[in-house]
Chains A and B, each alone.
Chain A
Amino acid sequence: SQTIHQWPATLVQPVGSPLSLECTVEGTSNPNLYWYRQAAGRGLQLLFYSVGIGQISSEVPQNLSASRPQDRQFILSSKKLLLSDSGFYLCAWSAHRVELTFFGQGTRLTVV
């Protein structure tokens, strides 16, 4: 069966520090991968999605970037965090042409 792993679960980082959040999927190949951010009162906002290695689409201009160095690995990064980057970050995956999307357990990021 397929599983998705996301870490760390919580993170407190100072303003201006770098960020790296990692997500891996097991039990499937060539998944679509997504990063969402959840901020209070704003629902889930799609940040990035990827349909294959090295293929990243950005939905919202921001202080973040994403990379997909391996088929089932998706990384969210920032060179310098802002206070506004605080939120709950969710990684997700779906199979091509299958309607279901599966979510990781999320990372609570607090920028101080």
Chain B
Amino acid sequence: AQSVTQLGSHVSVSEGALVLLRCNYSSSVPPYLFWYVQYPNQGLQLLLKYTTGATLVKGINGFEAEFKKSETSFHLTKPSAHMSDAAEYFCAVSFQAGTALIFGKGTTLSVSS
């Protein structure tokens, strides 16, 4: 069965530090991969997606992620954290365009000054 694992339910970084949020997936077919961000009591906003082509994808707010097929990973990074990055982040996968997303359990990012 397809699944998504986000390592670390809570990540804390200092402002200006590197952000690294980990995501691994299991799949028997090439996946579509996504990262979403959620601010308190709001819906989900798409940060970035991977479908095909270049394995390093850039998203909004300075985030990027790299699809590594050999490691079945899609980790999210940002070189320098900002206070406004504090939120919950979800990794998700789908296996056919237009079908339901399967989500990881989420990682809460805290940023301290």
Mark A residues whose CB is within 8 Å of B. 6, 9, 32, 34, 36, 41-46, 49, 59, 88, 90, 92, 94-106, 108
Contact = CB atoms under 8 A, between A and B. Distances in A.
Nearest to A43: B105
- Residue from the set B45, B46, B98 with the largest chain A CB neighbour count within 10 Å: B98
Nearest to A95: B98
Contact of B94 (A6, A88, A99): A99
B61 interface: no
B22 to A, nearest CB: 15
Contact of B41 (A46, A98, A106): A106
Contact of B49 (A42, A100, A102, A104): A100
B32 A103 contact: no
A6 B44 CA distance: 13
Nearest to B102: A46
Contacts of B98: 32, 94-99
Contacts of A41: 9, 105
A35 B110 CA distance: 28
Contacts of A97: 96-98
Nearest to B91: A43
Contacts of B106: 43-44
A104 B43 contact: yes
A90 to B, nearest CB: 6
B60 to A, nearest CB: 14
